[in-house]
Amino acid sequence: MTSTRKALPAGTPLLEVQDLHVRFDTLTGPARSVNGVSYTVRAGQTLGVVGESGCGKSVTALSIMRLLSAPPAHVTGAVLLDGTDLLTLGEREMRRIRGNRISMIFQEPMTSLNPVLTIGRQIAETVRLHQGASHAEALARAIDMLRLVQIPEPERRANEYPHQLSGGMRQRVMIALALACNPEVLIADEPTTALDVTIQAQILDLIRRLQQELGTGVVMITHDLGVVAESCHRVVVMYAGRKVEEANVADLFDRPLHPYTRALMASMPSMNTGSSRLTEIPGLVPSPQQPQRGCAFAPRCAQAQARCHTEMPRLSAQGADHFVACFAVETRQSDGVAPVDSTPETLA
């Protein structure tokens, strides 16, 4: 894949999300979906964002892309790309960035692709809009992208419509569409959900190759901790619209500190080799319309203390580059029970 964009040194900050809040006006009152989330996307690295459905992962991504209209959505905070706050740009300026410098692989390809336009035309339009290519050049680029994501007979498939493709092929078309302009930042919202394990591995390898060539920063939103362990460098764990833990991937899997992170890992089949039944997390994620007093995870947490129901824990450092928001962890530290010391590692 060729591009005129020069790769940035690995680890260079590309995108900074600072104290992001998202509120939706509803007939039954405000719904606060994101509450003060901050993270940094770096060149050549993948940031994993994990948590149950309803934790605010996708809403955060849509806010970065400026795809939430106000009203009913109200977005505050800052999203900095090369020092420019995207939340302050007009729609015309944002259109030059969206799909070009920042792209997103949406979770549901059937509702994201235009049903009345061919696959090739949809990809070609993006290339013509952002790169000024001719019709022939853009169509050739579209076919190259379809070939890159392992779609057989790309010349024929480029003339077909979304309903003529399987769910897995539509997902690969979405990936081709997102990568067509070689973005600096790629937001992947469950990019491998509809794919079998073989194609999943190919897609993850494709994203890694893009990172190596262009220094692309990736935000990987997923429920699959196996994907996180394999492809991410750093992980953010979200719960009820807040960030409850953040660490390098090796450190997080070596010593998960927040009770919610440990519960997520215990609920995975690979984490329960000695048990015939998966560990369940009791209860449900609280509604974003429910007023939060104290830690949102407290009603489901076996380690909850009295203060957990009345006070909101803040993120605190628990070792090198490892942050957690939990009173139970702070109590263990004050009692002299320190977490296992380990040196965070970064994926090659």
In a domain, 274, yes or no: no
Q: Please tell me the pTM assigned to this model.
A: 0.88
Instruction: Answer yes or no: is 58 within a domain.
Output: yes
Buried b (16+ CB within 10 A) or exposed e, 219-256: bbbbebbebbbebbbbbbbbbbbbbbbbbbbbbbbbbb
> What's the number of domains the chain is made of?
1
The answer to whether residue 307 is domain-embedded is no
pLDDT at 245 (0 to 100): 97
CA dist., res. 217 & res. 88, Å (int): 22
Evaluate whether residue 231 is within a structural domain.
yes
pLDDT single digits (tens) 63-106:
999 999 888 999 999 999 989 999 999 999 999 999 999 999 98
Give me the mean pLDDT over the 106-130 stretch. Answer: 90
Q: What are the structure tokens assigned to 65, written together? A: 């892309």
pLDDT single digits (tens) 194-204: 677 887 887 78
- pLDDT-derived band at 209 (thresholds 50, 70, 90) equals confident
pLDDT in tens, 216-260: 999 999 988 888 998 999 999 999 999 999 999 999 999 999 999
> What confidence score (pLDDT) does residue 106 get?
87
Give per-residue pLDDT as tens, 139-196: 999 999 999 888 999 999 999 999 999 888 888 899 899 989 989 999 999 887 767 7
Show the domain range for 197: 13-236
275-288: pLDDT as tens digits: 567 788 889 999 99
In a domain, 285, yes or no: no
In a domain, 297, yes or no: no
Assess if residue 157 is contained within a domain: yes
| Contact (Cβ atoms closer than 8 angstroms) between residue 259 and residue 297 | yes
For residue 45, CA distances in Å to 61, 214, 259, 298, 300 come to 17, 11, 27, 33, 33
Residue 210, pLDDT > 60, answer yes
Give me the CATH number covering residue 133.
3.40.50.300
Flag whether 107 is in a domain: yes
Give the strand order in the sheet containing 73-81: 29-42, 13-26, 73-81, 84-85
What is the token pair recorded at 280?
Answer: 């369940």
How much is the pLDDT for 276? 64
Highest mean pLDDT among 246-250, 302-306, 326-330: 246-250
pLDDT band at 51 (very low <50, low <70, confident <90, very high): very high
